[in-house]
Amino acid sequence: MASMTPNEFKLFQKFIYDHAGIDLAPAKHVMVSSRLTKRLNYHQLDNFSQYFELAMSPSGAQEFQMMVDILTTNETYFFREPKHFDFLQDQILKPWRGDHFRLWSAASSSGEEAYSIAMLLAENLGTKKWSILGTDLSTKVLEKARKGVYIMDRIDLLDRNLMEKYCLKGVRSQDGTFRVAEKLRQNIRFKQLNLMKQLPPKMETFDVIFLRNVLIYFDNDTKKHVVERLVAALKPGGHFFISHSETLSRITDKLEMVQPSIYVKR
């Protein structure tokens, strides 16, 4: 197995920072090496420099996206950070009186966050119209999100009643898996979006934006640009969620903290 040199690690470190704003700490050296080794072996290359050149070459578009997927994919699960979902249900959805509730899961990964939210929207909004946009940089996780099929060990925090109402358990060859029901999936769009770039010119505005477990990978300048770009798509009075391990202190003056990790647009 090839060993990734410090200079090779810097190649990938600079690339993913420039492309996705992710600041890979030196401690991620082993992780990056381990994740990319399979691709190195697949192409029968001698070192990581050769792999980088392949992925960045004009003929390497497919491998380029594969490299992005490998370097940006993070683990998630249903109803992660439960207090956020309690706040969404009790403080936002129950008193909501609009016509169409729009929510953006801005770093949706493989879809567990968007589907968790969808269950709450379906439970609390009755016949009112609602929709969710789920975006991510990785095409691999978006493909999984669109399918809505997961293994059973992702549901420790998923209420049994919601599971029975909105999920279909797999049988025979699909035993040990479940699929999110079509009545939820039809209200969710998943699309690729790079948060480092300007939003589409006709981007809709949202009542709530979730941007969780992403900012921890950004430096302060990148955080500021990304947050202010997303806040522009948030309705006045709309809510903005980040992870409990993150903060928006000194990042933007357009949001006011309601409680740690939950903000409202001024």
Q: Which residues are designated catalytic? A: 35, 136
> Residue 180, Cα to own-chain centre: how many angstroms?
18
d(Cα 263, Cα 258) in Å, to the nearest integer?
Answer: 5
Please report, for residues 13, 22, 38, 61, 124, the alpha-carbon distance to residue 50 in angstroms, rounded to integers and kept in the order given: 16, 22, 14, 15, 53
d(Cα 49, Cα 7) in Å, to the nearest integer?
Answer: 9
d(Cα 69, Cα 110) in Å, to the nearest integer?
Answer: 11
Q: Which residues lie below 8 Å from residue 263, measured CB to CB, with a gap of 6+?
A: 239, 240, 241, 242, 248, 255, 256, 257
- Bridge partner list, 86: none
For every residue of 169-208, DSSP letters joined together read E--GGGTTEEEE-HHHHTTEEEEE--TTSPPPTT---EEE
d(Cα 174, Cα 150) in Å, to the nearest integer?
Answer: 10
Relative orientation angle of helices 29-42 and 61-72, to the nearest 10 degrees: 150
The token pair that represents 78 in the structure block? 């249903």
